[in-house]
Amino acid sequence: EAGVAQSPRYKIIEKRQSVAFWCNPISGHATLYWYQQILGQGPKLLIQFQNNGVVDDSQLPKDRFSAERLKGVDSTLKIQPAKLEDSAVYLCASSQTATRVEQFFGPGTRLTVL
Amino acid sequence: GDSVTQMEGPVTLSEEAFLTINCTYTATGYPSLFWYVQYPGEGLQLLLKATKADDKGSNKGFEATYRKETTSFHLEKGSVQVSDSAVYFCALSVGAQGGKLIFGQGTELSVKP
């Protein structure tokens, strides 16, 4: 079974530029999560999708971050414009359902904002 | 709000030593508890889990028991190996919140031969 795929693996941009990350969850998984992991900290949820609807985006900085999950499969997370404090690893995870508690994580995208 | 607190690292042990990484939590509901591991250069992997009080999760020689009375989920291993060197994250999930994971800050373990 293929795991959660993410791209790119690494991205370096300058502040005020825009960037987008892509995630392809495990086939058949209805729930998709984006987490932000700042160096030295645990991951923090940014947004959760159930199929193509948003379940929780309470910690997403909506003035600069946006995310979508078209057709309930792939998802894209965008930052525009980026700030220095956005430097982090962005993790995508998926689970069969929201109540099926095991989440499977992708390898992450390491973003550096200069 | 819900939160997880782990012992600070880094933790450095010799091979075959006993490992304990402390984890305590605060939650308003009845959480499920997890330990995730992140090996160097790899993504997060589920190590073990427990979904109700007094459950014991175990995997690869690691164990953790869900203690509701002390709100703890300490990770233990009787004899660590160099290959166990990684960052370990304790996490909780409250089903009523849609399954999102709340993580501790992580504990880095380094095992020396």
Residue-wise pLDDT tens digits, B34-74: 999 999 888 899 999 998 899 999 999 999 999 999 999 99
| Beta carbons within 8 Å of B27's beta carbon, 6+ residues apart | B2, B71, B92, B94
- Residue pair A78/A65 in contact (Cβ under 8 Å)? The answer is yes
Rg (C-alpha) for chain A, rounded Å, is 13
Question: Nearest CA to B27 among B90, B89, B94?
Answer: B94
Per-residue pLDDT at B40 = 87
Residue A44 touches partner B, C-beta closer than 8 Å: yes
The token duo for A19 is 């960037």
| Signed CA dihedral, B73, B77, B80, B82: sign only | negative
Chain A residues within 8 A of B97 when measuring between CB atoms: 56
- Residue pair A113/A84 in contact (Cβ under 8 Å)? The answer is yes
| Confidence band of A112 (pLDDT split at 50, 70, 90) | very high
Give me the residue from B36, B43, B100 closest to A48, CB to CB. B100
Q: pLDDT over 70 for what percent of chain A?
A: 96
Q: Chain A: give the shortest CA distance to residue B110, in Å.
A: 15
**A vs B: CB pairs below 8 A:** 65
**CB distance B106–A45 less than 8 Å?**
no
Per-residue pLDDT at B97 = 55
Q: Chain B: give the shortest CA distance to residue A5, in Å.
A: 11
* Chain A residue with minimum CA distance to B104: A42
Per-residue pLDDT at B96 = 57
Task: Specify the range with the lowest mean pLDDT, choosing from A34-38, A79-83, B30-34.
Answer: B30-34
The token duo for A35 is 């987490």
